[in-house]
A and B are shown apart, each in its own frame.
Chain A
Amino acid sequence: MADHSVPVLKGTVDLLILRALAVQPTHGYGVMRWIEEATGSVIQVDEGSLYPALYRLEDRGWVSSDWGVSENNRRARFYRLTPAGRNQLKVESREFLRFAEAMYQALQAPTTG
């Protein structure tokens, strides 16, 4: 992550959104559903963080949006990953995995000395 002061949870949401959009362009609701399904509902992102995160990601140029027609013929705003976003996803995934691995190692370390 570019900004280390960003709270972990928020960063996680961003990463999950990017990952969701790497599968296929979709609308906000689609992103939310994908995250629920992909994490077995362990991680639930509420609308109050999802949409601001989407808007900020777009602001940074990692996703772009356009109006299109949804699967049930409604007009919906579709988000897609930009090339920069795809790159960002790669970098962030790597960093997160290293972080998670490190956390795992740390948490798995013997507790008795």
Chain B
Amino acid sequence: MRDDPLWQRYWRYLSARFRPEVDDELDFHVEMRAKELERQGFTPDQARREAVRRFGDRRRIRATLHRIEEKRGRRMTLAFRLQELWQDVRYGVRGLLKRPGFTVMTVSSLGLGIAAATVVLSLIDAFLLRPLPVRHADRLVVVGSSNRALGQMAAQLLSPPTVRDLADRTDLFEDAAGVTILAGAIRVPGAESGERAIFLAATGTYFSVLGVPAARGRMFTLADDRDRARVLVLTDKAWRTRFGADPGIVGRTVLVNTLPFEVIGVTPPGFHGTEHLFQVSGFVPAGVVPSLENTPVEVAERIDAGRYSLIARRVAHRSIGDIRAALTLMSARLESEYPEIGDGFRLVAYPESRARPALAAANGTVMAGVVFAVLALLVLLTAAVNATNLILSRATTRQQELAVRQALGASRGRLVMQLLTETLILALLALAAGWGLAAVAIGGLRSIPLSFGGMTMSWGLGLDHRVFLMAVAVTLCTGVVAGIGPALSASAFALQARIREGGRAGTSGRGRRIRSGLVVVQVAASVVVLVSAGLFVVSAKQVEKVDLGIRSDHLLSLGLDASLARYDRASATEAMVRIERAVAAVPGVQSVAWSTAVPIKKGASDMFEVQSEVAGQTSRDGTVTLFGGTVGPSYFETMGIPILEGRAFTEADDSTRKGVVILNQLAAERLFPGQPALGRTVRLSGSDRPLEVVGVARNGLYMIIAEAPRAYAYVPMAQRYQPAVYLTVRTTTEPNDLIPAVRKAIQAADRQLVPFDVQSVDEMLETSPNGMLVFRVVATFASVIGMVAVVLTLVGLYGVISYSVSQRTQEIGLRMALGASDRTVVRSIVADGARLAGIGIGLGLVGAILLTRALANLLVGARSLDGVILALVAVGLGAAALVSAYLPARRAARIDPVAAIRST
């Protein structure tokens, strides 16, 4: 036997050259001839020399043979390998069918792992990897801004002048455009009422930045934007769903927020703009935003009228770091030039793929992606380890079969390939199972409704060819990882010896040590996964207990937009009065309130900069940022927000009286530290008159369920008109039961206004991504992954202990014959299992502690419970491990000593 290293043999096998085999063959020939010459009377030495002499010009012969071999190798390799592969596949399938139990166990182990990985892959793909279907997607950069109030969060807060400033930086950006989300209504002329729709309003360069051509008609340009031309580009999807793929769509007029717009083009299929969560219906030039929203152009153009983000194609040799450095300087200049731009104003830039699903999530998404990728990898590892263990056990029991095959002339490389092929067949079956499971899971995820600020969103999740390719890669890697070890070790045993030895093979210390080591890895991995799952679950529970500052039960909320019905302020106000009266008369309705903001649903409709009157107590330039909403008189009572000082608004606070405002505790504290706020006046930016503070309301949560306290100001609705409003209804019965009656009342009161987002507030809290949804989904997902890991691990542990018991039948029988009691046997076997589990749990806890450090940012209030969760996981998993070792131990104790010893 040759003893060059394995990889060389393997390489030779794969490269199909057989050079050393030629030498082997010729050596054999010479040796045979020498043996014969010896028999004829030559001395061994003479015989050998004579044999070599008679052989002739060995080098020439060898060269000839090599030439033939090589030619043949080149020609035959592919066909030959395919044929071999086919043989292996057939052989493998037959083998797997013969052992359905083994096959099912392995496929379901790997399948679970692959399903978990596939779901995570599809999330990561959707949120981090999938390039936009545009030109130079890798060079797209998103720029937004932040300020002191936002802290680490970035937002779409660039004003039109800032967007132009940025777009002029041709040293950084080849091309750049401002873009913002616009909730509005679209209406086909002649239709009774409009439909809610989401548009992206973008500056004229938007389509040239992205390099997206029009599928029909044309895209809008700089000229359209400058002329504030009322033109609309539809997405392919909206064209199909809202306009029945009308081939004559280009040139038609549709109404957007009651204004006539000319449809000038349709985007290519698959392009939905650069906002990921929103289902966008079309694009309009940014220049038309003031007229669409009825804002004076001067107001929309103010430096602090921030609502845009910038999407830009960076200059190829400028890195994102270069751009960030340049933007830091620019931020400083803007802040000093325009103090009104906001306290701590700074521009932030991210590669487009890091700014998903929204700019605000920029950092969190990557972090979450990494954490879940790690969890999925660990589960996959557990699954692979299980498969390895199963295959190892099986490989040991079939050493005889392998030995026979090798004796019949199969080379080691051939055996390894055959075993690997089998594992890969298993892996592919598992891929099919896992893919199906993942499709179900993702279907479940997608069916969870998502809405945000009254706009329906899409998950953007899907199993496409990209995810499939990644899943296939993962599967193949898993298959090779799970299979290569068993394949190598099974073929490495001294096979010829095995045949003679018969039955009891493979109890070698090495094989057992490998299997035990694998179990330790498995236990450790599942500890890490379980601890993370525990933390996510605790975090979700904490979030549910969070005090929102309102009584969210028995509340129904719905949106109405007067601009969709072409109402002016007077007719809108009249309609609101009629609707309020009608809804209040519905049986089961306790009180009704108007507002422009509803906590979590749409946290604030305004953002104010307020000059603090107490110098030296607030931020550098003496301004405080307040979030705000406009509310009707009964808002506080209906929502259940306590007024701590002063009074709530009344019907008397209308446009004819002096301006009033109610602050929350934090706003009062920030504006008038240590002093009573009641009776003081504040000037809100965007409002020309001073407002008197008439009340202080208790702090609550406004934008997202896990936010830091915010300063908030309420303004009476009668003193500040906004066409898009919410109606909140406090009910005495289950709020969802009242929806039909409320809808009917609204329709009877006003035929033009159509309620949208009609939902109980509790339900909204569950489904809004700003509410509990994300925490729930993450917790559910982590728990499922955790459960999968535990099941796989326990099965693995059980398998290894059972196997070791079955291998040690004789030894145990002997020990019992020599007087060991049932209990001693059980105890020693359970102790084996406990030792493995103990080491695994120890290692796992170390890993878990490291991971929780990374998770800290994603969790709410779980920190204090770290220790409890670690302990629970350790004890729980330990106990489960003991049970799964006890079962085979019981079986061992029932071994009949006589039969066991005789079976030798």
Instruction: Please list the residues of chain A having a beta carbon within 8 angstroms of any beta carbon in chain B.
Output: 27-29, 46-48, 51-52, 55-56, 58-59, 66-70, 72, 74-78
Instruction: Kindly state whether residue B57 has any CB partner on chain A within 8 Å.
Output: yes
Given the known interface contacts A48-B56, A51-B61, the answer about A29 and B68 at a Cβ–Cβ threshold of 8 Å is: no
Chain A neighbourhood of B31, CB < 8 A: 74
Distance between Cα atoms of A29 and B30 in the complex (Å): 9
Closest to A58 in B: B72
Distance between Cα atoms of A37 and B57 in the complex (Å): 24
Instruction: Kindly state whether residue B33 has any CB partner on chain A within 8 Å.
Output: yes
Distance between Cα atoms of A69 and B411 in the complex (Å): 12
Instruction: Kindly state whether residue B827 has any CB partner on chain A within 8 Å.
Output: no
Is B29 touching A28 in the complex (CB atoms < 8 A)? yes
Chain B neighbourhood of A47, CB < 8 A: 26, 29, 55-56, 61
- Which of the residues A28, A52, A59 comes within 8 Å of B25, measured between beta carbons? A28
Given the known interface contacts A66-B409, A67-B409, the answer about A75 and B61 at a Cβ–Cβ threshold of 8 Å is: no
Is A72 touching B35 in the complex (CB atoms < 8 A)? yes
Report A112 CB to chain B, min CB distance, Å: 45
Distance between Cα atoms of A10 and B562 in the complex (Å): 100
If A27-B32, A55-B72, A70-B28 are given as contacts, then 5 extra A-B residue pairs at C-beta distance below 8 Å, sorted by A number, are A28-B29, A47-B29, A51-B65, A52-B65, A56-B68
Is A27 touching B407 in the complex (CB atoms < 8 A)? no
Please list the 8 inter-chain residue pairs (A to B) with the smallest Cβ-Cβ separation, ordered nearest first.
Answer: A66-B409, A29-B32, A55-B68, A59-B72, A77-B25, A68-B409, A29-B29, A52-B64
Chain B neighbourhood of A68, CB < 8 A: 408-409
Distance between Cα atoms of A27 and B27 in the complex (Å): 12
Chain B neighbourhood of A75, CB < 8 A: 1, 24, 28
Is B29 touching A55 in the complex (CB atoms < 8 A)? no
Number of residues of chain B lying within 8 A (CB) of chain A: 26
Name 13 A/B residue pairs within 8 A (Cβ), A-sorted.
Answer: A27-B29, A27-B32, A47-B55, A47-B56, A51-B25, A52-B64, A55-B65, A55-B68, A55-B69, A68-B409, A70-B32, A75-B28, A77-B25
Distance between Cα atoms of A27 and B409 in the complex (Å): 13
Is B409 touching A78 in the complex (CB atoms < 8 A)? yes
Given the known interface contacts A66-B409, A68-B409, A78-B409, the answer about A27 and B61 at a Cβ–Cβ threshold of 8 Å is: no
Instruction: Kindly state whether residue B317 has any CB partner on chain A within 8 Å.
Output: no
Distance between Cα atoms of A55 and B68 in the complex (Å): 7
Distance between Cα atoms of A27 and B21 in the complex (Å): 13
- Which of the residues B1, B60, B69, B71 comes within 8 Å of A48, measured between beta carbons? B60
Report A75 CB to chain B, min CB distance, Å: 7
- Which of the residues A46, A67, A70, A74 comes within 8 Å of B56, measured between beta carbons? A46
Q: Per-position contact with A for B27-68: 1 when CB-CB < 8 Å, else 0? A: 011011101000000000000000000011100110011001
Distance between Cα atoms of A56 and B68 in the complex (Å): 7
Distance between Cα atoms of A58 and B409 in the complex (Å): 17
Chain A neighbourhood of B64, CB < 8 A: 48, 51-52
Closest to B55 in A: A47
Given the known interface contacts A51-B65, A59-B68, the answer about A77 and B407 at a Cβ–Cβ threshold of 8 Å is: no
Distance between Cα atoms of A70 and B24 in the complex (Å): 13
Report A52 CB to chain B, min CB distance, Å: 5
Interface residues of B in 48-98 (CB under 8 A from A): 55-57, 60-61, 64-65, 68-69, 71-72
